[in-house]
Structure 1
Amino acid sequence: MSDEDASDLLAELRRPRPYPAVSLTLPTHRHRPENQQDHIRLRNLLADAEKRLAADPQVSKEQAAAVTGNLSEAVDELDPEHFLEGLVLFASADEARTYLVSSTVPERVVIGETYLTRNLVAASARQIPYLALLLSTGEVRLWHGVGYELHEIDQAESGFPVISSGVERDGPPNREGGHGEEQDFRNMLTEADRRLTPLLQEAALPVVVVGLRQHVVTFRELSRHKAVLAADLEVGGLLQATAPELVEQLAPARASLAAIDAEEALKALDAARSGKRYAAGVQDCWQAAREGRVGHLVVEESVRVSARVEEVEGAPRAALVIVDEASDGGGGGGGESGQGVGDGVEDDVVDSLAEMVLDADGDVTFVPDGSLTGTGGIAAALRY
């Protein structure tokens, strides 16, 4: 999915729904035997949602039946064999939507007038586009990835693969006197680096260099694009790997790219602090977001804040009244419900805070817990 498609989807999901709109999130597992328990836990979470809908005085029997019917139908269609690290399920009286995400989510049930999109926002932020350059003795291939989507870039698009013209194709570089063969190998890498240039001019994507250690070292030595060589994966034998096989192998590299992205977000906060364009804490960030002043919001992954908005007559600014500040702790431990709209309490104001920033064309980055000391886990770089 392109960045534009993801933005359009998130914007559509953020629009208000008729109450009750149910958001259900569950940490899941990729492999047996753990994923065989996921469907049982999902059923238990579904039963919890059904009970809460039935007990909600704002929800008619017809509404509850429609929502639970959509939830049940969506759950029936899920296959644990295809689970990733997290499951996000949205349902209202007239729809149900299911998303598998490659990051851990908390176990929660939230009922309100909007869907809880922060987990999708966080997952989308981690879907960093990148190029993977696969090096071998006699051939260089190029792949384009976005999260768990991966496809090989072909000759028509880029001039890849680059093929060696020497006998090295059938063995490792001969370092015991085979100077011509070694030079042929270096020429191949230089040509691959040259063919990267127009692609990087179109989009300066980070490049993951994949291959045996000596291959990676040589390419880095020769490359004119050192600034975008973001990560290395020192492993051989992947030249003929399928996309699913290669995606799994690239997991550490994707984690490195996400860590770099988080580090850049923290640097942006430092620069904003020095330039006195900085806000910290949910109260100040929320107010700045309401005014459209947040250019980049940074949130620790597990921060959750229940709050209500109080409009004060005659006052220029509304007040955000904190009800509860908590951490989801990476997921687990029994679903919890939002307090609904009846008492004006929003279960997770971080969700609407992120929505306000995105709607104003700002950026949102989720960083590891403990990254934002002294801020309550929320800080922002302001436009002014």
Structure 2
Amino acid sequence: MEQTLINLSQYTGTPAVTILVSTHRTFPDNKQDSIHLKNLITQVEKELYEQFDKRIVWPVLDKIKETEKSINHDYNLDTLAIFASPDSIQVKRLPVTTTDRYVIGDRFEIRPLLKAVQQSEHYYIISVSRQKIRLLEAFNDEIVSEVKNKDFPYLNNYYTTDPMRLKHDQIVDNLLKEFFNTADKRFKKYYEENPLPVILLGEERNLAFYQEIMDIRGLVIGTHHGSFDDTSDPDIAKVTFPVIQQYIAGKQDAALQAINAAQSAQRLLVDLNDIYTAAENGQADTLYIGQTYLPTGHIDKGVITLGNGNGSTDVTLPVIDTVLHKGGNVVFLDENALDNYQGIALITRF
């Protein structure tokens, strides 16, 4: 999704059409999604013909209508986003909420995609017990897959049932650590191919042992205690998703700390024109925007003038595009997080 975001942010040309539809994940609610999409496309068609010559409208409109026919709404998430130009079209299902709307201009409305990237997390789940180690891959509240091959699930061949040996805690602990160490080395191969954060599931004592022997430190972003040797994918996701939500919320706290530190170091800009100028000059490190910050106005010769007159547009879009194009980052924060900065703040590189 990150590559899609970069490609869309770099596009400029008219008409660039973005259609955003609030959708539903389950039947029968998702039956109305196709109706809402059709209504928006009708509005888009009307406005396109009002703004452009029909020879410019036809290529983009044909792509939109053809794509509409192929969309299966049974697979909807929270938002359906369509990005269309005369040369290309992309459809994305996003796990973030939006309001039904469309944008016609010379850039795509990429904020929902940015929010989806930042409010989503791809991660590993390792279920740890004395008998079995399971490795799963997940995205937000969905289990993508469980590794089932010669590596995992990994059954404990070190475990002893000898009653005399079981009386000696040190022997049991050493056998357990050896089992965990072998499992971790197997996991390390998957991590090196696709490095993702880790959530550990298991009894508290087992997780303490497992984290003690892990070769790569700092991977674990959360734990949950219990037994999950035979737990189904949906039930595991119910346990891990709240952990991921807490982890994502922690990122916002870290962002606010970074803003405070930048302000102390005199590397923080909060005026919209200063921010845009810094972005144009390649000085933007990270742009923070409140989710409801949507100022309208005009940009003329690099100067932003706010207002709601004829032809006013959302002036944050070119700012966001410029930051991304120059190699900076854009982060959306909760509605009131940036109230002290009027909704927007930029940390500069120097």
TM range (shorter): 0.7 to 0.9
State how many pairs are aligned: 344
Unaligned runs of 5+ in 2: none
- Structure 2 letter corresponding to 1:40: I
Conservation of the 8 A alpha-carbon contact between 1:141 and 1:239: no
Whether 1:320 aligns to 2:320 is no
3-state secondary structure, aligned to 1:26: strand
The range that moved more, 365-374 or 251-260, is: 251-260
Conservation of the 8 A alpha-carbon contact between 2:201 and 2:228: no
Among 31, 34, 40, the residue aligned to 1:36: 31
Unaligned runs of 5+ in 1: 170-175, 312-317, 325-338
Aligned mates of 2:317, 2:235 — CA distance in 1: 34
Matching residue of 1:67? 60
Matching residue of 2:345? 379
Matching residue of 1:266? 256
Following TM superposition, by how much is the alpha carbon of 1:68 offset from its aligned partner in structure 2, in angstroms?
2.8
Matching residue of 1:165? 157
Matching residue of 1:296? 286
Conservation of the 8 A alpha-carbon contact between 2:127 and 2:228: no
3-state secondary structure, aligned to 2:201: strand
- Structure 1 letter corresponding to 2:312: V
Is the alpha carbon distance of 1:230 and 1:168 closer, same or farther for their aligned partners in structure 2, counting shifts above 3 Å?
Answer: farther
3-state secondary structure, aligned to 1:352: helix
- Structure 1 letter corresponding to 2:269: A
Over residues 37-60 of structure 1, what are the superposed CA-to-partner deviations in whole Å (9 max), with x where a residue is unaligned? 222222222222122223x2x312
Whether 1:87 aligns to 2:85 is no
Aligned mates of 2:311, 2:93 — CA distance in 1: 30
3-state secondary structure, aligned to 1:106: coil
Matching residue of 1:189? 180
- Structure 2 letter corresponding to 1:207: V
Conservation of the 8 A alpha-carbon contact between 1:298 and 1:378: yes
Among 21, 36, 42, the residue aligned to 2:16: 21
Conservation of the 8 A alpha-carbon contact between 1:135 and 1:239: no
Matching residue of 2:102? 109
Following TM superposition, by how much is the alpha carbon of 1:109 offset from its aligned partner in structure 2, in angstroms?
0.6
Name the TM-score, length of structure 2 as normaliser: 0.82
Aligned mates of 1:72, 1:98 — CA distance in 2: 12
Aligned mates of 1:362, 1:354 — CA distance in 2: 9
Among 315, 318, 322, the residue aligned to 1:356: 322
Matching residue of 2:70? 77
Is the alpha carbon distance of 1:220 and 1:117 closer, same or farther for their aligned partners in structure 2, counting shifts above 3 Å?
Answer: same
Instruction: Report matched runs for 1:143-222 at 5 Å.
Output: 143-145=136-138, 150-152=144-146, 160-165=152-157, 184-185=175-176, 187-193=178-184, 205-211=196-202, 215-216=206-207, 219=210
- Structure 1 letter corresponding to 2:7: E
Among 358, 368, 375, the residue aligned to 2:334: 368
Conservation of the 8 A alpha-carbon contact between 1:25 and 1:88: yes
Conservation of the 8 A alpha-carbon contact between 1:132 and 1:210: yes
Conservation of the 8 A alpha-carbon contact between 1:87 and 1:100: yes
Over residues 21-44 of structure 1, what are the superposed CA-to-partner deviations in whole Å (9 max), with x where a residue is unaligned? 210112222112322222222222
Following TM superposition, by how much is the alpha carbon of 1:259 offset from its aligned partner in structure 2, in angstroms?
1.7
Following TM superposition, by how much is the alpha carbon of 1:296 offset from its aligned partner in structure 2, in angstroms?
0.9
Following TM superposition, by how much is the alpha carbon of 1:239 offset from its aligned partner in structure 2, in angstroms?
4.8
Matching residue of 1:335? none
Instruction: Report matched runs for 1:229-248 at 5 Å.
Output: 229-234=220-225, 236-237=227-228, 239=230, 241=232
Following TM superposition, by how much is the alpha carbon of 1:197 offset from its aligned partner in structure 2, in angstroms?
6.0
Aligned mates of 2:108, 2:191 — CA distance in 1: 37
Is the alpha carbon distance of 1:21 and 1:245 closer, same or farther for their aligned partners in structure 2, counting shifts above 3 Å?
Answer: farther
